[in-house]
Structure 1
Amino acid sequence: MRPRLARVLLVAFALAVVVDVVSLAAGYDLGHGIAKPLLMPLLAAHAGVRGGPRLLVAALLCGWGGDVLLLSDADPAFLLGMASFAAGHMCYLALFKPRVGKGAPRARGDWLAGGYVVALVATVALMWPDLPSGLRIPVAGYSLLLTAMAYGAGRLGLVAGLGGALFMLSDTLIATGVADWPQLPRPDFWIMLTYAAAQYLLVRGVLGTLGARPAPTAAYGEMRSTTP
């Protein structure tokens, strides 16, 4: 039953993503408002049923908090949403720390670190003058934490690394909007598409690399062996 339930939850997550991004592409705010808050609870439930680490579930639920808060355009909601996502990145970092880098070539780690440092410094430096003064320090601090998470994900493996990179892209698109830079058509569509893909790839990478808790089947097997 657990594998079947995990598949059902993953399909439900995929359907919610489709409803969300199609609603954004069509400018249907109600569909986005309904679908967006469902994404991370469904993905967290999938990870939990798969026996994923508690820190993974916690990271996804922090993402859910950020998703809900960012439905509001108010500045306090934006800051609280950013804080919720930051807490999720801290969960990811704590999850990656015990295993990160095991079996990965040193040159690969150095290349990742250098690339992410350049991306962080360039992005913050370019956007700094255009950010509202009250958001400059919070955005810079959040960007540092996000970059550290993406680097840790990259050291974990290719799938998780792609998830971390897409998370950086998604949040950079948000930041460019806050800085009032030119945007792609339907920017929220691209933000949510890259964000949903990022979280899914992080879940897949963590479950595939760090493993999942085994299902409690021993007691059932023992019961069957003793049943006449």
Structure 2
Amino acid sequence: MALPLFFGLSAAHILAQVIGIPAAEFVTKALLMPVLAWWLHQRGGPRLMVAGLLLSTGGDIALEFDGLFIAGMLFFAAAHVCYVTFFMRSRKAEGRLRWTILGAYAAMWAVGVAILWPGLGALQIPVAVYSLLLTATAATAASYGVRTGVGGALFLVSDLLIGLRLTDTEVPMHGVLVMATYIAAQYLLASGTLRRVERRAPTPS
């Protein structure tokens, strides 16, 4: 029941954005990650990933209020710490992190920060630090599996779109694109880790 509810809320949220119903946008956005976390918990998913989704809820809500951008960023930074910790622990058990992936994402982070830096003003340092955590999620998720790798990349795209808005760069359908990539990213990260956990579960004899 939880997963269909998540997909229903996702569709309702995007529709509310397109039509322009602020109350529906807020309510559906606030419910998205708790429902996804509930589904992941029900299926026996990793606790760190569940924690990351719940922390993301705090970020989603905080970003809806003027003056709480830094608070929202802190919630999401904590979520990325959970994600990176989980992926790094998993890689430690399975083998080394792929340094080619890490290097590619590090280069992307440097280029992205350099492009956004002049227009960030007082947010330069917070955004640089947060984006480093986000990039770490994308890199470690890519080494974990294809599904989580795509999820991490989409998370990066979603937040890059937010960064462009901070620099007053106009992007058509900005809000819809941010949320569509964000929702897909969180789902792929959650479902990708769950698939691996389920594969490792002992088969009943």
TM-score norm. by structure 2 comes to 0.93
Number of the residue aligned with 2:107:
118
Structure 2 Cα separation of the partners of residues 22 and 82 of structure 1: 25
Number of the residue aligned with 2:131:
143
CA deviation string 1:98-143 (max 9, x = no partner): 222766797xx233122211210011001100112x2100000001
| SS of equivalent to 2:91 | coil
Matched positions, count: 202
- How far off its partner does 1:94 sit? 1.2
Structure 2 Cα separation of the partners of residues 213 and 10 of structure 1: 22
Does the CA-based 8 Å contact 1:163-1:198 persist in structure 2? Answer: yes
- How far off its partner does 1:34 sit? 1.4
Alignment pair present for 1:193 and 2:186 = no
Number of the residue aligned with 1:94:
85
Larger radius of gyration: 1
Number of the residue aligned with 2:10:
17
- How far off its partner does 1:197 sit? 0.3
CA deviation string 1:132-157 (max 9, x = no partner): 2x210000000111101110000000
The aligned amino acid for 1:86 is A
Aligned counterparts, 1:59-74, within 5 A:
59-74=52-67
| SS of equivalent to 1:99 | helix
RMSD over aligned Cα atoms: 2.0
Number of the residue aligned with 1:172:
160
Which residue of 42, 60, 73 maps to 1:82? 73
The aligned amino acid for 1:93 is V
Does the CA-based 8 Å contact 1:120-1:143 persist in structure 2? Answer: yes
CA deviation string 1:22-61 (max 9, x = no partner): 1111222121011100000100000000011211110000
Alignment pair present for 1:27 and 2:20 = yes
Does the CA-based 8 Å contact 1:104-1:155 persist in structure 2? Answer: no
Structure 2 Cα separation of the partners of residues 187 and 11 of structure 1: 26
The aligned amino acid for 2:116 is M
- How far off its partner does 1:88 sit? 0.3
Structure 2 Cα separation of the partners of residues 163 and 104 of structure 1: 21
Structure 1 Cα separation of the partners of residues 101 and 73 of structure 2: 25
